[in-house]
Amino acid sequence: MTDDARWQPSERYPDPSIVALDLSFKRYHLPLSAVERLYHGTRWGEGPVWLGDARCLLWSDIPNNRVLKWEEETGAVSAWRKPSNNANGHTRDRQGRIIACEHLGRRVVRFEYDGSITVLADSYEGKRLNSPNDVVVKSDGSVWFTDPPFGILGWYEGEKHTPELPPTNVYRIDGQSGEITCVADDIDHPNGLAFSPDESILYIIESRSEPRNILAYDVNGATLRRRGTFVACQPGETPDGFRVDIDGNLWCGWGMTAAFDGVRIYNKAGAPIGHVHLPERCANLCFGGRHRNRLFMAAAQSLYSLYVGTQGVAGG
């Protein structure tokens, strides 16, 4: 591909930007599907979430302090929320309400059906959160989120502040009581996170280890145990946000060099099986569409999509 300013979709099938690293990837690669660019013009795209009932995708443009909406029917893009408090990660709970992480607000919020906003978490043990980054909701209604300080390091993705809490923590909000607990305090700047299909494993990106790691914890009800390294990345590989499909594969936003920019796919054994090359770094992604078989990729300046031969897990 050429650089993103002149990017054009593949005019032939199969799309050469979709590469199998293992024969097992063949079942997930649809030969008659190509990468599509749906929008160009963000400063740093992040946190996509699919709204099936509205047939649209929301995703964050953090430095521009807005959340954008792409409409499936028309392809139109508009501002869904501006200002957005420099919102980053998004997901939906099991009742369909949108959950958002805010850098500027330094909080996790929920959008109610009437449009009002409920603050789920903004502090822990009397100290302000750093800048909640990414979020997932478990089937029991609990909300799990990472809290590195990226949004308070300067004035580009939030406002500069001195952290009050360690940059190593992952938190859980109880779905019934709303109680906030720290479930991990040993991760060097935790970033993206997602559950395995049966919710027995929580995967978390350790984004300031050198090189980065994808960690795996056993889930024991409301707690985590047995930290392990699921993927020890190679120098230059920078995983960020990711989601899991129904077969347990991790579809990971990847990048920082031309060789790695895009999406790297790992099977549940931690082996790389495929790569979707993009002309820019992919920060985060989600599955959407009627059957959760369309991969939406929020890259630095653009939004891309690709139909794949699998489905994202429910609630992912």
The 10s digit of each residue's pLDDT in 269-283 is 999 999 999 999 999
Q: What is the pLDDT of residue 8?
A: 87
Report d(CA 142, CA 69) in Å as an integer: 26
Task: Count each helix (H run) and each strand (E run) in the chain, helices first.
Answer: 0, 27
Residue with tokens 């996790």: 108
Give the tens place of pLDDT for each residue, 150-164.
999 999 999 999 999
In terms of pTM, does the model score above 0.85? yes
Q: What is the pLDDT of residue 316?
A: 67
Give the tens place of pLDDT for each residue, 206-258.
999 988 999 999 999 999 999 999 999 988 889 999 999 999 999 999 998 88
Is the pLDDT at 127 greater than 50, yes or no? yes
Class of domain 14-307: mainly beta
Read off the DSSP letter of residue 63: T
Are β-strands 282-288 and 294-299 bridged in parallel, bridged antiparallel, or unpaired?
A: antiparallel
Of the candidates 240, 245, 247, 261, the residue annotated as catalytic is 240
Read off the DSSP letter of residue 72: T
Q: What residue numbers does the annotated binding site for a divalent metal cation cover?
A: 46, 191, 240
Report d(CA 253, CA 60) in Å as an integer: 15
CA separation, residue 254 to residues 163, 182, 224, 266 (Å): 27, 27, 26, 12
Are β-strands 201-206 and 213-220 bridged in parallel, bridged antiparallel, or unpaired?
A: antiparallel
CA 1 to chain centre: 24
For the chain, helix, strand, coil in percent to 5 are: 5, 45, 50
CA 18 to chain centre: 20
Q: What is the pLDDT of residue 3?
A: 47
Q: What is the pLDDT of residue 193?
A: 98
Tell whether the torsion through CA atoms of 115, 116, 117 and 118 is positive or negative.
negative
Q: What is the pLDDT of residue 7?
A: 82
Mean of per-residue pLDDT scores for the chain = 96
Residue with tokens 């593949």: 10
Annotated catalytic residue 15: no
Residue with tokens 């929920």: 110
Q: What is the pLDDT of residue 315?
A: 75
Read off the DSSP letter of residue 192: E
SS3 (DSSP) at 57: strand
Is the pLDDT at 104 greater than 80, yes or no? yes
Q: What is the pLDDT of residue 236?
A: 84
Report d(CA 290, CA 181) in Å as an integer: 35
Say if residues 230 and 193 touch (Cβ distance below 8 Å).
Answer: no
What end-to-end distance do the CA atoms of the chain give, in Å?
A: 30
Q: What residue numbers does the annotated binding site cover?
A: 46, 133, 157, 191, 240
Environment class of 73 (CB within 10 Å of its CB; exposed 0-12, middle 13-18, buried 19+): exposed
- For the chain, the structural domain boundaries read 14-307
Return the number of other C-beta atoms located less than 10 Å from residue 166's C-beta. 15
Say if residues 88 and 133 touch (Cβ distance below 8 Å).
Answer: yes
Give the tens place of pLDDT for each residue, 280-298.
999 999 999 999 999 999 9
Residue 9: asked if its preceding bond is cis (omega within 30°), the reply is no
Tell whether the torsion through CA atoms of 69, 297, 157 and 146 is positive or negative.
positive
Helix (H) or strand (E) holding 294: strand 294-299
Give CA torsion, residues 32, 1, 27, 57, to 10 deg.
-80
Q: What is the pLDDT of residue 2?
A: 40
